[in-house]
Amino acid sequence: MQDGEFGLGKSRTYEMLRTFVQNFDNIQVVAISGRNPKMKRSFEYLVEQEKKQDCIKILDYTTKVPELMSISDLVVTKPGGLTTSESLASRSSDYCNKPYSWSRRRKCCFFRAKASCYLD
């Protein structure tokens, strides 16, 4: 999961992480909060409460996004051009949430046609 201050939205991102934490036992998740310390604290609190520290890692801003994408099976992100292109280059699947703008919808439709993107 990747999100920052202007990503999917703070509450939506938290709910998505909560869904992963509470409903899946056999996965590893790296959640990137970007430069948002409040979001990072809420992620860490959730992971601690659910006792999932061994399979969920929380990162703040990182320059290692391409490397993380290359080892990922699924990238959950907003449908921006740069992130979606990086994900395609790393050959991981994207889950694009709520493509609000016309240009983002077009990008998602393109990537969905290439079978590399799931839309909400």
Q: Residue 88 belongs to what domain range?
A: 64-120
Asked whether residue 72 falls in the same domain as residue 28, the answer is: no
Q: How confident is the model at residue 74 (pLDDT cuts 50, 70, 90)?
A: confident
pTM > 0.75? no
Residue 6's pLDDT is what? 47
57: pLDDT strictly greater than 90: yes
Query: pLDDT tens for residues 12-30?
Result: 888 889 998 999 888 899 9
Domain's final residue, options 31, 62, 93 = 62
Quote the DSSP letter at residue 69.
Answer: H
Answer with the residue of higher pLDDT: 117 or 15: 15
Question: DSSP secondary structure string, 43-111?
Answer: HHHHHHHTT-TTTEEEE-S-S-HHHHHHT-SEEEE---HHHHHHHHHHT-EEEE----SHHHHHHHHHH
What is the tally of structural domains in the chain? 2
